[in-house]
Amino acid sequence: MIRSGWIVAIVSAVCVPAMAADPAEREVDDAIVRALRYLSLQQQPSGGWNVDAFGGEATSATSLAVMSFLGAGHTPGEGPYGESINRGVQFVIDHQDANGMLIHRHGHGPMYDHGISTLMLAEASGMVPERQAAATRKALEQAIRLILASQMVAKPPDQRGGWRYTPNTTESDLSVTGWQLMALRAAKDIGCDVPAENIDLAIDYVKRCTPRDGRGFGYQPRNGATPVLTGTGLLALQVCGEEESIEVQRAAEFLQTRPLRFRDSWFNYGVYYTTIAMYKRGGDDWKRARPQLFQELLNHQLPDGSWQSGNQNEANFGRTYCTAMSVLALTVEYEYLPIYQR
């Protein structure tokens, strides 16, 4: 549910929630408005957005940017950013390979790009204009089939049920797995065929990434827990219907004692997952987590509305990536994206 008493208004060519009562909420709203203005100026003539480390436009960056606009309440084909959204969605559709892979310029892990882009198509599918709807749905269904087939590649017992960098790899990791699960959940919610068996296999893999002490999640089975991967594992289990599992409860407790900090490695990735996960937890967990997570972001927004990562890994990806991930975290309470809803 969207916060009561809010309406969407067009003000100075941007879409903003009207007059949030709390000054802290207004600060978040203003930060989102400035960030979207920045993102709109970074869109390329092709309709895509760049990842600096990839040397040009990428389906992943484009999908994150599109979801940022959707998450803030903008819709395809309408308002100041409607055409930008349409062009971004079309860019992703136009860069689907024959095997269903959504990819254009990637680093070492094309399944990252694919999972992120599949999630975007699922979230946008019910919003795009009629002229784009059939192509969006077709691309989404092909993308989902690739994710499902990739999961079923023969793997060692401790790697089964997950995903890693490429479709045919015999390994898995929680980072890539998180994106595929988000995509599958979003696609299933709009009626795509996602067998329960595949979700169950993924749940088992995520739970195997819990360290021996049962607190948090690591990159792969038997790895130690980190705040970033704990946010990933927490949200992955929540979207799979495991909200009351012991792993979820212990992960939420871990994040309260090990909060994310801006200069942590992979902070932008982690704040996306952690913010959504703790918001879905709600109650005292969200009341404690929200001020710290949001303030970390607000403290580091640059004057032009963008974010630049405080760690070298994500700094190499550039400001579009960092800004989109920050917006996606800050818009969680708007609940415009279906995946955010409790």
What confidence tens digit (pLDDT) does each residue in 207-217 have? 999 999 999 99
Q: Does position 6 have pLDDT exceeding 70, yes or no?
A: no
The H or E element that residue 8 is part of is strand 8-11
pLDDT higher at 253 or 4: 253
Give the largest CA-CA distance in the chain: 56
Q: Identify the pLDDT of residue 278.
A: 98
pLDDT category at 19 given cuts 50, 70, 90 is: very low
Q: How many angstroms separate the CA atoms of 48 and 28, rounded?
A: 26
Q: Identify the pLDDT of residue 342.
A: 84
Q: Does position 1 have pLDDT exceeding 60, yes or no?
A: no
Q: Count of alpha carbons within 13 Å of 236, Cβ hemisphere only?
A: 37
Q: How many angstroms separate the CA atoms of 242 and 235, rounded?
A: 9
Count the Cβ atoms, other than its own, within 10 Å of residue 142.
18
Window from 21-25, 44-48, 81-85, 185-189 with minimum mean pLDDT: 21-25
Architecture in CATH of 49-66+82-208: Alpha/alpha barrel (1.50)
Angle subtended at Cα 255 by Cα 241 and Cα 27, rounded to the nearest 5 degrees: 95
For residue range 267-303, list pLDDT tens digits in order.
999 999 999 999 999 999 999 999 999 999 999 999 9
Q: Identify the pLDDT of residue 146.
A: 98
Do 170 and 159 form a contact (C-beta atoms < 8 A)?
yes
- Based on its alpha-carbon atoms, the radius of gyration of the chain, rounded to whole angstroms, reads 19
Q: Does position 67 have pLDDT exceeding 70, yes or no?
A: yes
pLDDT category at 106 given cuts 50, 70, 90 is: low
List the domain boundaries for the chain. Answer: 1-42+266-271+285-342, 49-66+82-208, 209-258
Q: Identify the pLDDT of residue 90.
A: 98
Q: Does position 25 have pLDDT exceeding 90, yes or no?
A: no
For residue range 119-150, list pLDDT tens digits in order.
999 999 999 999 999 999 999 999 999 999 99
Q: State the DSSP code for 96.
A: B
Q: Identify the pLDDT of residue 23.
A: 62
For residues 308-313, average pLDDT: 91
Q: Please measure the distance between the N-terminal and C-terminal CA atoms of the chain and give it in whole angstroms.
A: 8
* Total number of residues shown for the chain: 342
Above pLDDT 90, what percent of the chain? 88
Strand partners, 15: 10
Q: Identify the pLDDT of residue 11.
A: 34
Q: Would you put residue 253 in left (φ > 0), alpha (ψ -120 to 50) or beta?
A: alpha
With a CB cutoff of 8 Å and minimum separation 6, the contacts of 244 are none
Q: How many angstroms separate the CA atoms of 61 and 328, rounded?
A: 13
Do 39 and 53 form a contact (C-beta atoms < 8 A)?
no
Q: How many angstroms separate the CA atoms of 250 and 268, rounded?
A: 22
The H or E element that residue 49 is part of is strand 49-51
Average pLDDT value for the chain: 92
The H or E element that residue 231 is part of is helix 227-239
Do 74 and 110 form a contact (C-beta atoms < 8 A)?
no
Q: How many angstroms separate the CA atoms of 43 and 163, rounded?
A: 30
pLDDT category at 73 given cuts 50, 70, 90 is: very high
pLDDT category at 20 given cuts 50, 70, 90 is: low
pLDDT category at 10 given cuts 50, 70, 90 is: very low
With a CB cutoff of 8 Å and minimum separation 6, the contacts of 311 are 263, 264, 265, 266, 267
With a CB cutoff of 8 Å and minimum separation 6, the contacts of 94 are none
Angle subtended at Cα 322 by Cα 316 and Cα 88, rounded to the nearest 5 degrees: 105
Q: pTM for the full model?
A: 0.93
Count the Cβ atoms, other than its own, within 10 Å of residue 147.
24
Q: State the DSSP code for 157.
A: G
Count the Cβ atoms, other than its own, within 10 Å of residue 157.
8
For residue range 153-205, list pLDDT tens digits in order.
999 999 999 999 999 999 999 999 999 999 999 999 999 999 999 999 999 99
Q: Does position 13 have pLDDT exceeding 50, yes or no?
A: no
For residue range 220-241, list pLDDT tens digits in order.
999 999 999 999 999 999 999 9
pLDDT category at 5 given cuts 50, 70, 90 is: very low
